Amino acid sequence: MCGIVGLYYFDQEKKAQASDLKVMADSMAHRGPDDEGFFTQDNVAIGMRRLSIIDLGGGHQPIFTPNKRKVIVFNGEVYNYVDHRPALEKKGHKFYTKSDTEVVLHLYDEYGLDSFQHLNGMFGLAIWDEDEKQLVLARDRIGIKPLYYYRDDEKVVFASEIKSILALPFIQAELDMEGVAAFLKYGFTPAPYTVFKNIKKIPPAHFVRLKGRDMQITRYWDVSYQNKLTGSEDEVAEQLYQQLKEAVKYRLVSDVPLGAFLSGGMDSSGIVHLMNELGTKSTDTYCIGFGQGFDAYNELEAAKRFATDYQTNHHEILVKPDVATLFPKLIAGLDEPLADSSFLVTYLVSQLARETVTVILSGVGGDELFGGYRRYLNVQMNKYVKVMPVWFRRNVVKKVLNSVPVDRNSTMLNYFRLGKAYFNTADMEFSQQYGSYTSVFKDDFREQLALHDQQIPNFYEKYFDECDSDDLLDKIMYYDLKTSLPEQLLMLTDKMTMQVSLEGRVPFLDHNMVEFAARVPSDMKIKGFKLRHIQKKAFENRFPDYVFQQKKKGFGAPVGVWIRNELKDMAHDLLSETYLRNQGVFDPKTVSKAMDDHFQMKEDYTDNLLALITFQIWYQSYLGK
């Protein structure tokens, strides 16, 4: 695991400087505290910081082909490198290390731009090919690892983190209002957007080819929801189990200590179960809780019970974090604002894990593949609500729900919140309904809020249309796979684990697993109103029963309580009329009304205020000067 950096000047007479690479790499030393390496040749320079995981002594980068004509820097892990090495050796390729990075380079040497099809793993990489006089950048299929680039008329600068690009004195941080509009709508910035002008994300499953003055971005993979599996539920469940087992097996290869996050839920428990079945004894497991009064976020009891049954070396932490201090530090670490409180939880549990391991397995992705989110039940709800008389739905149900108080920290008031959100969107087309249900700021609210609102692509319509299935559940899962999963959940997982030099691995997002899940019929994923039906069936009679019985809890933090308490002063300062007028990004009256309605419990604006607070903290970190 590493962080990579680089520069490419369009003018071949312009010399790239190793000193610039050093400045960039030093800004993200947390990603690679063990080693560094740089390569420059004329107008090209690439470099890295290394966290040693495989071939601790021999995996120094950059790595070259024997003739020195091709060179690579690599961030991530390719798990099937051991499968490819013998075949490459038979073709005459010579290896000088035991690292996966060298295999990736030789695969490129053999197959060129088609080589990425052969990789099973997570990565952001750069290859300088002197024979072709081209620089190739690539990101893994799902977007587990990030890769950003800056482009102007003179050059392209790339890095694993935005802060490394901005570390160069000749690149200034500027606000991109299209990126801000995307953030306000989605709560994150979908690729290729960022909130920085001239800085973009390479989308998942894409590579960039820089040759001369030409820059091409090409997609090399996509997931298909066609060719649904036709076997019985028992057969599909067994296939699921074996597919996940193979994905976990690949991710146990490590030359350093390895453990697993454990919440006690289906995904993390499934991974620990399979680790145990594969012979990983005395696994180190980690869980976090917030103590009494925060039952909706506290998974310590369930995790401890499972850990005891599986005899893991269990570590847990009960925290009352100083959020007013942690928020600025962690949001700066994210590079971009994010309307998702789980970044703080991920950081704290990663910090705990790093005390004893260097690699951690995580259950991220299970919800998106097998139907774990309550919002997916809208597909089923629509079947029943559509037969309800329209006048009753609009004039009775909506009227009642819009008149009651809402609060996600109360079980009853949270059901009112969910019901209100659903019935206020029930008459929309499904892509619009899902968009309204998952957007942070609705379009009319955003238009009032942002003083310089920009028109941005409708990613709901874009990915609903691109999905090759007519099934509604397939469409929303495809949308999530392309947007919130890589640029929200995986982004924060990468940034928060790497903040403490911990490598996170996600078995559910093995691309073979993703392709398998896409072929599972929707009625096997969600049966009636039963979420994760086929996933539960796969672990039936393998798990303790209590894993299936416990109520799902989100991997988040009690941010609603914090906004009313620990973050209250910060919120009022950063969202004050004076500050907002001087900043010139948001309308003070719209913000003031939202805050008043939230604190009076007329509306639940937790997500909205979290988005605004994180944006303002981010703004101070990167643009406040």
Region 282-286: mean pLDDT is 93
C-alpha closest to that of 181 among 447, 428, 444: 447
pLDDT digits (tens, 9 = 90+) for 129-163: 999 999 999 999 999 999 999 999 999 999 999 99
Strand partners, 44: 8, 41
Q: 3-state SS of the chain: helix, strand, coil percent to 5?
A: 45, 15, 35
The 10 Å Cβ neighbour count of residue 84 is: 21
C-alpha closest to that of 209 among 283, 291, 126: 126
The 10 Å Cβ neighbour count of residue 458 is: 15
pLDDT higher than 80, residue 90:
yes
At residue 605, the pLDDT reads 87
pLDDT higher than 60, residue 295:
no
Q: In this structure, are residues 50 and 100 in contact, taking their beta carbons and an 8 Å threshold?
A: no
Structure tokens at 222: 């996509």
- Mean predicted lDDT score pLDDT of the chain: 90
Region 27-48: mean pLDDT is 92
Give the Cα separation of 386 and 393 in Å (integer).
Answer: 9
pLDDT higher than 80, residue 551:
no
| Residues designated catalytic | 2
Percent of the chain with pLDDT over 90: 69
pLDDT digits (tens, 9 = 90+) for 170-214: 999 999 999 999 999 999 999 999 999 999 999 999 999 999 999
In which band, very low, low, confident or very high, does the pLDDT at 564 lie, cut at 50, 70 and 90? confident
Q: For the chain, list the domains and their CATH numbers.
A: 2-219 (3.60.20.10)
pLDDT digits (tens, 9 = 90+) for 244-262: 999 999 999 888 889 999 9
At residue 444, the pLDDT reads 85
In which band, very low, low, confident or very high, does the pLDDT at 292 lie, cut at 50, 70 and 90? low
pLDDT higher than 90, residue 583:
yes
Question: pTM of the predicted model, to two decimals?
Answer: 0.92
Region 466-478: mean pLDDT is 96
Region 483-487: mean pLDDT is 97
